[in-house]
Chain A
Amino acid sequence: MENVAKKPFLEQLIHGTNFDADSLSALQKVTLRAVVMSFLFFGLVAIEGMIMRMVQTGPINPLPEMFNHPDHYFSIMTVHPIVGIFGSTYQLVFAAFMFLVPYLTKKPLYSVKLANFVWLCITIGTAMAWIAGFIWQYAPLYTLYWPLPADFEQFSVIGAFVFVIGVALIMIGTIGFIYNIYATIFARTGVHKNKTTKELLISGFGIDGLMNLIHKLMGKPPYSKEPALSLPVVAIFRGTVDTFLDAIVILGAGILVLVYIVAHAGGLSWDVHAVDSLLYKNYFWWGLDLVADGLVLIYVAGSWYLLATIITGQKLFMENVARAALLLELFVSWMVWSHHLLADQPQPEMMKLISGEMVTAFELLTQGLALFITLVTLWKARPLKMSPELAYLLGGLVGFGLAVPAGIIQADMGLNRVLHNTQWISFAHFHIALIVGLYMTLYSALYVLWPLVTNNTKLFSKKLTWAHFWLYLIGGIGMGAFAGMAGLDGMLRRHLYVDGEFHGWMILAAIFGTMVLIAWFLFLYNIVMSVGLKGLIGIFKPANNDIATFGIEEEPEPAPAAVKA
């Protein structure tokens, strides 16, 4: 990556470096569309996060009065994770995988039309949920603890309706993504022409990795020398199982709320206590936790493996163990949700103990293994050049190295009693996991995929890339650490402090949070100056060639027929 010859500002802004949107295939375009939307939502979420940070610094904050009002504050808090997790993270991950699966399997994406439908669904859905918060101040928080979302004394019916439809659209888009990925993976074309569905499934679940390990222990020849699916594809497949279950659960919750909305709008006032709040909480967290403890960890582990092998150009260390660990994570991620209910006294004690404490602790093992395998793979290939993609990958590893133990600490009956619902979990755990761990991994993937997706577009400035890296890393860790410490001092999440009760920590968190926001601006500026405004618009124009694959010369076979097989 070199710095580009200087052009006058306006020319640079309009034309970029050497980006040519007309040269992009349909697959490249749909990938970039989702990436663009993802980073726009990231900016929105960062600004919203900063608004909340500033409000918590107390009367000294420079924001206009309206932001301090509870209705306003909690509607921001409600849409913040929706925009961040679905609008931004989901879009970015989906975009990467929609490109990677065809790239890694050398098969065409099942349907570019469906891929376009997906980013539109998620974008519109996220916008609707956001609008429901902005206009009608619908604010039951994303946890939707029953019966709060159906409490029409506090919230307007129309706001609830728009919000639920928005979330439903996101989930429908998600299911579209899953269908597209599965149809692509199981299409018997190209490298998978002679594979059976059974072989592909065995590989997808990581069973072949486990069998190889067992065979090795028993001194038998390997179960399969060449696995049907490459490891990153296994991780994508595996993660997508969780994405599906999670989409079903959230969609189910949405339908329940919708039933109550319709009844209320029709003049009926149904008893909200007909639904057991504890049962609902279990059901909801089972699904929602699949996003957090299943999806993120699996997708991230898979991305680490992929990035480490691409950056080093070498095979992954202990590949069979990695495959088997993904299988283990399948069972672990389905059985850990009870750690969200450790502070719920009616929750059966056995469930807290086994699901909440013991199985949850296994995430230390599965994530620790992924960290170890990635590090050793890098180590064996040294000396390496410190490229931005390597630096971001290491940043991602640090993020999870910090965030996973921080979560495990709270998933303990003793500590949960004094940490539940404090800022410790919001910041030391999941903000660091997302901002530092997940996003830095995604930035690494972005820099690795950049030349492939943009047909070797030169980046505008190398200096800006590094400035973004350091500001983002230090800002992300700093904000997470200081706001997390406020949690240890008793500061609650989901609570409005108007008198600046924890303002010392909050000012520190706001300073570091600002660094994240500045980093985002630098990144955006760098990207816009690389592709140019003209190129940016070109991404959203129809593609000249509708090739849905990457990396093979010959004309791809018609995919839709293959999926029926």
Chain B
Amino acid sequence: MFQTSLELLKFHWAAYSIYALLIISVIAWFGYNLTRKEKVKSIVRIPFYGYIAFLVAGGVGHHIFTYNAIPWVAEDIMRHEITPDRDYEIEIAKHKWKLPEEQMVANMGEKVRFNVHSHDLTYGFGLFRKDGTMVMQMQVVPKHDNDIVWTFHECGKFDLTSTEYAGPGQYDKETGEDKMFVKDALIVNCNDKFASR
């Protein structure tokens, strides 16, 4: 249902905003009627067990819904059985990326495996679009395999930065500039055999 994280986040933005307005107005309506002398008729009567069922369905259903709708969930769980189209080993030490090549490249629709190793601290591996929105990210804990398989359903140039705080050393002391920010760290080409999917 959702191809890219951008679509998912847009949907989520709208859905949650509607929910927020709803819950605020329900409590406001409730508070107003608490003070009224004459008995008010409820607009809807929610039976207790119905309400409980709704909460359970909301909690569990939300996961089931996203499992089927977000393509990367199943891929994430099954990633050890997937043979990626491309494989990138990345290293970090002292707030510096060591990328396998100057610019990582992939084609749209390909499965790319990133395995990031940290030699000292906990970092984050995050890819971002030009407008600053997040494509995806993961934590990078030192001395462990931090691997992710990602299918790119969008093309473009993506920037890389650490998404976890690892001390002020990530920033230039004077200007505050992010030293771990790598512009156009990954290019995903559009014209590809997978692209039509």
Contacts and interface: CB of A to CB of B under 8 A. Distances in A.
A341 B145 CA distance: 15
B189 interface: no
A540 interface: no
A283 to B, nearest CB: 13
Nearest to B72: A417
Contacts of B172: 70
A277 B51 contact: no
B154 interface: no
A357 interface: yes
Nearest to A492: B163
Interface string A384-415: 11100011001001100110011011001111
Contacts of B136: 417-418
A397 to B, nearest CB: 6
A395 to B, nearest CB: 9
Contacts of B143: 273, 276-277
B164 A421 contact: yes
Contact of A154 (B5, B20, B148, B169): B169
B73 interface: yes
A361 B168 contact: no
Interface in A353-377: 353, 357-358, 361-362, 364-365, 368-369, 372, 375
B141 A412 contact: no
A31 B118 CA distance: 48
A411 to B, nearest CB: 9
Contacts of A315: none
Contacts of A353: 77
B193 interface: no
A139 B59 contact: no
Contact of B77 (A349, A485, A498): A349
B132 A502 contact: yes
A322 interface: no
In the complex, which of the residues B144, B165, B166 has the most CB atoms of chain A within 10 Å of its own CB atom? B165
In the complex, which of the residues A155, A343, A481 has the most CB atoms of chain B within 10 Å of its own CB atom? A343
30 contacts: A68-B176, A69-B174, A70-B173, A139-B167, A145-B121, A147-B121, A278-B141, A345-B145, A345-B148, A361-B59, A361-B60, A361-B63, A364-B59, A384-B34, A390-B31, A390-B34, A402-B20, A408-B59, A409-B16, A412-B62, A413-B76, A414-B70, A414-B73, A415-B12, A421-B124, A421-B137, A492-B126, A495-B178, A496-B176, A502-B132
B122 to A, nearest CB: 4
B166 A148 contact: yes
B165 to A, nearest CB: 4
Nearest to A432: B20
A353 B66 CA distance: 13
B58 interface: yes
Contact of B73 (A153, A362, A413, A485): A413
A147 B52 contact: no
Nearest to B122: A145
Interface of B: 5, 8-9, 12-13, 16, 19-20, 23-24, 27, 30-31, 33-37, 48, 51-52, 55-56, 58-60, 62-63, 66-67, 69-70, 72-73, 76-77, 120-122, 124, 126, 128-129, 131-139, 141-148, 163-178
Contacts of B168: 70-71, 73-74, 137, 139, 154
Contacts of B34: 378-379, 382-384, 386, 390
Contact of A397 (B12, B27, B163, B171): B27
A281 B35 contact: no
B35 A375 contact: no
A-B pairs with the 10 shortest C-beta distances?
A361-B59, A414-B70, A70-B171, A494-B165, A414-B66, A70-B168, A498-B176, A154-B167, A346-B144, A490-B133
A488 interface: yes
A141 to B, nearest CB: 6
B41 to A, nearest CB: 13
Contact of A498 (B51, B60, B175): B175
A346 to B, nearest CB: 4
A39 interface: no
A57 B9 CA distance: 23
A80 interface: no
Nearest to B70: A414
Nearest to A406: B16
